[in-house]
């Protein structure tokens, strides 16, 4: 992979050899980028061939690719948004999303019950992930995934990640699941109503209706089953929940919060931890951790293994807590 400095050196070398002329600065920058991208793409094509992608797939999928300025702008200039945990929950787990989730749960109840029985994942958690990822399928993104990932593999600060995902996207095409132009998603390459990255699609997407391909864009059965399959294969326990909000006593050793050291709920209870309403904790979990996503003034959450599974989907306590609480409110 040619890094930023490497590309600048490459472009200087091309200019010195007379392969890049001196023109209007804006045009020169665009021409320089296109030239460097073409050189990078040729090297990547050789790598993809060596990885087993068929030449005809690469000919079709990579034809006419060029860096996407909007993707580069979004990657290089992502806004810094400082939001408290409470503000985040208010924004993400709002009444409209809760009501919409309840309506969709009711409308799809037979299908969700069937998928829940097969994968061992409660319907409300499928709804919550679907709701937070794409607002129940309303916001899936409309970037060409191959072009976006090629742009990011070429010019982002995480080229190895996006190179891997670009190869995975090409495997999706090569295996006949979808044409390259059918792969639409976010500027960062997350696809469909599940917002799976291509590698996650290859690992977890489910063709639930047996039509020959997993359609996470348009088939709700595949969307729900793919979410459930992801959770199940990451260790979901359908017999329990994510955790709960708890109360800790005055003088509680705060060093025990967020230290990733699990204890049995009975041990936490012995230290004075109580359920949110002040009652006794359920004691049937094998282990539990205490976390405080909102910091010193935020609520304390007792989290079980399922919470850690949600963290594998998105390694953010804000995200995992929002999914958990949206699921609770949808099911209430």
Both structure tokens of 207: 């063709």
Give domain status of residue 255, yes or no. Answer: yes
How far, rounded to the nearest angstrom, does the alpha carbon of residue 79 sit from its chain's CA centroid?
19
**DSSP secondary-structure letter at 299?**
P
Other CB atoms within 10 A of residue 136 CB:
18
**Does 248 lie in the same domain as 173?**
no
**pLDDT over 60 (residue 12):** no
- Please, are residues 140 and 134 in contact by the beta-carbon 8 Å criterion? yes
- The pLDDT assigned to 31 comes to 63
pLDDT digits (tens, 9 = 90+) for 83-126: 899 999 999 999 999 999 999 999 999 999 999 999 999 999 99
| Residue keyed to tokens 């295996």 | 175
Helix (H) or strand (E) holding 175: none
How far apart are the C-alpha atoms of 252 and 257, rounded to whole Å? 10
Give domain status of residue 87, yes or no. Answer: no
**pLDDT over 60 (residue 181):** yes
Give the helix ranges, DSSP H, for the chain: 4-16, 25-50, 55-62, 69-76, 85-92, 95-107, 109-119, 123-134, 145-155, 159-174, 198-204, 220-233, 265-270, 305-313, 317-331
Both structure tokens of 59: 């000919």
Give domain status of residue 270, yes or no. Answer: yes
| CATH code: domain of residue 169 | 1.10.8.350
Q: Which residues partner with 184 through β-bridges? A: 144
Domain count for the chain, please give it.
2
Both structure tokens of 77: 């200039």
3-state secondary structure of 42: helix
**Does 73 lie in the same domain as 10?**
yes
**Does 248 lie in the same domain as 185?**
no
- The pLDDT assigned to 80 comes to 66
**Does 163 lie in the same domain as 284?**
no
Look at residues 173, 191, 209 and tell me which one is the last residue of a structural domain. 191
State the pTM of this model.
Answer: 0.89
10 Å CB burial of residue 303 (0-12, 13-18, 19+) is buried
10 Å CB burial of residue 188 (0-12, 13-18, 19+) is buried
**Does 253 lie in the same domain as 170?**
no
- The pLDDT assigned to 94 comes to 97
Give domain status of residue 132, yes or no. Answer: no
Torsions phi, psi of 290, nearest 5? -105, 130
Give domain status of residue 108, yes or no. Answer: no
**Does 255 lie in the same domain as 164?**
no
**Does 286 lie in the same domain as 156?**
no
pLDDT digits (tens, 9 = 90+) for 224-276: 999 999 999 999 999 999 999 999 999 999 999 998 888 999 999 999 999 99
**Does 170 lie in the same domain as 68?**
yes
How far, rounded to the nearest angstrom, does the alpha carbon of residue 92 sit from its chain's CA centroid?
16
Name the residue range of residue 272's domain.
243-303
What is the arithmetic mean of pLDDT over 302-314?
97
Give domain status of residue 168, yes or no. Answer: yes
- Please, are residues 237 and 119 in contact by the beta-carbon 8 Å criterion? no
- The pLDDT assigned to 277 comes to 84
Torsions phi, psi of 320, nearest 5? -60, -40
Task: Quickly state the pLDDT bin for 2 (edges 50, 70, 90).
Answer: very low
- The pLDDT assigned to 17 comes to 42
Look at residues 131, 165, 191 and tell me which one is the last residue of a structural domain. 191
How far apart are the C-alpha atoms of 123 and 120, rounded to whole Å? 9
**Does 147 lie in the same domain as 9?**
yes
**Does 163 lie in the same domain as 257?**
no
Q: For a pLDDT cut of 90, what percent of the chain falls above it?
A: 81
3-state secondary structure of 7: helix
**Does 259 lie in the same domain as 168?**
no
Give domain status of residue 181, yes or no. Answer: yes
Give the sign of the dihedral formed by CA 36, CA 39, CA 41, CA 43.
Answer: negative
- The pLDDT assigned to 81 comes to 67
- The pLDDT assigned to 18 comes to 42
Give domain status of residue 54, yes or no. Answer: yes
**Does 157 lie in the same domain as 254?**
no
Average pLDDT, the chain: 91
pLDDT digits (tens, 9 = 90+) for 16-68: 444 333 433 444 455 688 899 999 999 999 999 999 999 999 999 999 999 99
């Amino acid at each position: 992979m040619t890094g930023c400095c490497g590309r600048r050196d490459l472009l200087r070398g091309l200019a010195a050899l007379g392969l890049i002329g001196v023109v209007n600065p804006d045009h020169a920058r665009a021409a320089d980028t296109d030239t460097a991208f073409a050189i990078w793409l040729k090297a990547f094509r050789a790598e993809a061939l060596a990885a087993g992608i068929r030449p005809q797939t690469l000919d079709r999928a990579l034809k006419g690719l060029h860096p996407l300025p909007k993707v580069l702008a979004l990657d290089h200039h992502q806004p810094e948004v400082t939001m408290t945990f409470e503000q985040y929950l208010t924004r993400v787990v709002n009444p409209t999303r809760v009501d919409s989730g309840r309506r969709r749960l009711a409308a799809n109840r037979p299908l969700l019950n069937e998928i829940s029985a097969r994968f061992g994942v409660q319907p409300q958690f499928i709804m919550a992930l679907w709701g937070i990822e794409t607002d129940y399928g309303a916001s899936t993104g409309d970037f060409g995934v191959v072009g976006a990932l090629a742009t990011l593999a070429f010019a982002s600060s995480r080229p190895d990640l996006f190179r891997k995902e670009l190869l995975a996207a090409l495997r999706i095409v090569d295996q006949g699941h979808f044409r390259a132009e059918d792969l639409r998603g976010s500027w960062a390459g997350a696809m469909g109503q599940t917002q799976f990255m291509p590698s996650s699609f290859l690992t977890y997407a489910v063709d639930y209706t047996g039509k020959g391909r997993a359609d996470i864009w348009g088939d709700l059965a595949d969307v729900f089953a793919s979410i459930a399959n992801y959770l199940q294969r990451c260790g979901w326990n359908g017999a329990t929940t994510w955790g709960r909000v708890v109360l800790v006593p005055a003088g509680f050793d705060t060093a025990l919060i967020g230290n990733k050291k699990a204890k049995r709920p009975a041990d936490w209870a012995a230290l004075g931890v109580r359920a949110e309403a002040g009652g006794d904790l359920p004691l049937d979990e094998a282990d539990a951790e205490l976390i405080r996503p909102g910091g010193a003034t935020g609520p304390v959450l007792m989290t079980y293994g399922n919470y850690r599974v949600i963290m594998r989907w998105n390694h953010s306590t804000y995200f995992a807590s929002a999914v958990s609480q949206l699921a609770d409110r949808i099911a209430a």
